[in-house]
A and B are shown apart, each in its own frame.
Chain A
Amino acid sequence: MRLLQKLKRKSSPTHRGSGSNYAYATARVRAMKSNLLPRETYPRLMNMGIDEITRFIEESQYKQDVDELARVYDGVDLFEHALNRNLGVTFTKIINISEGELNYLISEYLKKYDIWSIKTILRGKYCNASVEEINDSLVAAGQLSYTFLSSLAEKESYESVIDALSGTDYYPTLKGYDGTNLSAIENQLDKEYYNGMFYAIGTPGSNDRKLFSKFIRTEIDIKNLSTLFRLKKAGVGEDEIADLILEGGLHLSMKEIEKLLPLPFSEFINSLEKYPYWEDISDIVSPEMDSLVDLETQLTRHSIKSAASFSHMYPLSIVPIMDYVLNKKNEVNNLRIILRGKAANLDEEIIRNQLVI
């Protein structure tokens, strides 16, 4: 057996697929995907009152989370917590069922949530939020557990939070935080996340790796596009926008974005025509647009659509798992939008515009 393993290792110098259980993990994740709410559910939910929606969620796959948290929270907060908890549990489960290289790549991808939670805690400390308020927004879907994150939230000051993170990869960046430059640190964390992601992917040799790299780079494009739209709309200066742009986009490379930066809003929109994203956003984008909500939902829809098409190309790769991660996140977001919207008595049309179905 040891001889076999040695031979296997020798024949694959890049360690591609070494010890990964693609078949098991992708089949399980696909079965999990079939448990997601079908798209016809959302119009039905829209027609329900808040009581019916809560009952619907209580009877769905979120039942266990709702039951466990029912002692501590109530009302819409309970469901928000239950949804967050379910997201965390599901993503941790994906990390736990995968092995080898697959596990490494998924953990790297889900570090996004660790960064999200660290940012939340620092922001909370920055504006003196209470421990409960910070705990409300934590999503423990990455490698850092909820217990650890909430122990960070309980710390007195941001210095002790950063000290507690001294063993992690984020420490070198966090060390630069002096209590005032929060947005710069946040931005740097994001940039480092994507650098780490590209390092983990390496030079994609196989087709499924190339697809995964394409998936990540599409995500960067979409992030950059929404940053560009938001900041251009707000009339922020060229240099300031350039700082916030992430490198490594698929269609919008740094060079292309540098060309877009000096353009005024209307010309910026016209010059997007040559990119593949235009097809999805052309109907809603105009120089006079007031709200960017439609645009952002459309961009999210585009990323989900492209992930779905990628996942059919290589069934035994990481891409179907990423497709599930996106869809699950979207489901939780949609449910939250409906719940919060209904609780705040928002107009049905406004809620519907926010949903990504």
Chain B
Amino acid sequence: MVDPVATTAMMDPAGLKAIGAGLAVGLTGLASGIAEKDIGAAAVGAMAENESLFGKGLILTVIPETIVIFGLVVALLIS
């Protein structure tokens, strides 16, 4: 038999919110990292040949950053 008092103590809403917020930022951070990996590499490659591509490369590299921003917004909304 599971003790209902103990279960309530373990499932502290504030704690769960914190875990949720952490997951939202952490996982989206990883996701942006993975997405930016190839774009960043490609941008550096293109820039090595043609320096004027710096601006375009930078913008394209940070586009997946939106993923982690959404994660951050969700985290802020939760907590």
| Interface residues of A, Cβ cutoff 8 Å to B | 21-28, 30-32, 34-35, 97, 316
Contacts of B42 in A (CB 8 A): 23-24, 26-27
Asked if residues B41 and A23 are in contact (CB atoms below 8 Å), the reply is: yes
Q: Is B50 part of the binding interface, using a Cβ–Cβ cutoff of 8 Å?
A: yes
8 Å CB interface, B39-69 against A: 39, 41-50, 53
3 tightest A-B CB contacts, nearest first: A28-B45, A27-B42, A31-B49
Q: Is A24 within 8 A of B41, CB to CB?
A: yes
Cβ-neighbour of A28 out of B37, B38, B39, B48 (below 8 A): B48
Nearest chain A CB to B59 CB, angstrom units: 15
Q: How far is the CA of A35 from the CA of B39 in the complex (A)?
A: 21
Most buried by B among A23, A25, A97: A23
Contact A23 B45 (CB under 8 A): yes
Q: Which residues of B contact A21 (CB under 8 A)?
A: 41
Chain B: minimal CB distance from A279 (Å): 35
* 30 A–B contacts, CB within 8 A, in A order: A21-B41, A22-B38, A23-B37, A23-B38, A23-B39, A23-B42, A23-B45, A24-B41, A24-B42, A24-B44, A24-B45, A27-B41, A27-B42, A27-B43, A27-B45, A27-B46, A28-B45, A28-B49, A30-B46, A31-B45, A31-B46, A31-B47, A31-B48, A31-B49, A31-B53, A32-B49, A34-B49, A34-B50, A35-B49, A316-B38
Q: Given contacts A24-B45, A31-B45, could you give 14 more A-B pairs where the C-beta distance is less than 8 Å? A: A23-B42, A23-B45, A24-B41, A24-B42, A24-B44, A25-B45, A26-B45, A27-B41, A27-B46, A31-B47, A31-B50, A31-B53, A34-B49, A35-B49
Q: Is chain A's binding surface mostly helix, strand, loop or mixed? A: helix
Q: Which residue of B lies closest to A32 (CB)?
A: B49
Query: In the docked arrangement, what's the CA distance between A28 and B41, Å?
Result: 9
Considering residues B37, B41, B47, which has the most beta carbons from chain A within 10 angstroms of its beta carbon?
A: B41
In the bound complex, how far is the Cα of B50 from the Cα of A290, in angstroms?
A: 46
Residue from A21, A24, A25, A35 with most neighbouring chain B CB atoms (10 Å): A24
CB nearest to B57 among chain A residues: A27
- Closest A residue by C-beta to B37: A23
Residues of B within 8 A of A24 (CB): 41-42, 44-45
Q: CA A27 – CA B61 in complex, angstroms?
A: 13
- Write out the residue numbers on chain B whose beta carbons fall within 8 Å of the beta carbon of A31: 45-50, 53
Q: Please, how many angstroms separate the alpha-carbon atoms of A234 and B44 in the complex?
A: 52
Rounded to whole Å, the gap between the CB of A1 and the closest CB of chain B is 14
Task: Kindly name the residue among B41, B44, B45, B46 whose own CB sees the greatest number of chain A CB atoms within 10 A.
Answer: B45
A30 to B45, CA, bound (A): 9
Q: How far is the CB of B32 from chain A (nearest CB, A)?
A: 16
Q: Within 8 Å CB of A28, what residues of B?
A: 45-46, 48-49
Q: Chain A's nearest CB lies how many Å from the CB of B49?
A: 4
Beta-carbon nearest neighbor of B47 in chain A: A31
Bound: A32/B49 CA distance, A = 6
Q: Separation in Å of the A94 CB from the closest CB of chain B?
A: 12
Question: Which chain B positions have C-beta within 8 A of A35?
Answer: 49-50
Task: Provide the residues of chain B in CB contact with A97, threshold 8 Å.
Answer: 45
Residues of A within 8 A of B49 (CB): 28, 31-32, 34-35
Name A31's closest neighbour in chain B (CB-CB): B49
Give A240 Cβ to nearest chain B Cβ, in Å.
Answer: 47
Residues of B close to A32: CB separation below 8 A: 49
C-alpha spacing A24/B46, complex, angstroms: 8
A169 vs B42: C-alpha distance in the bound complex, in angstroms?
A: 34
Pick from B38, B39, B43 the residue with the most CB of A within 10 Å.
B38
Nearest residue (CB) in A for B42 is A27
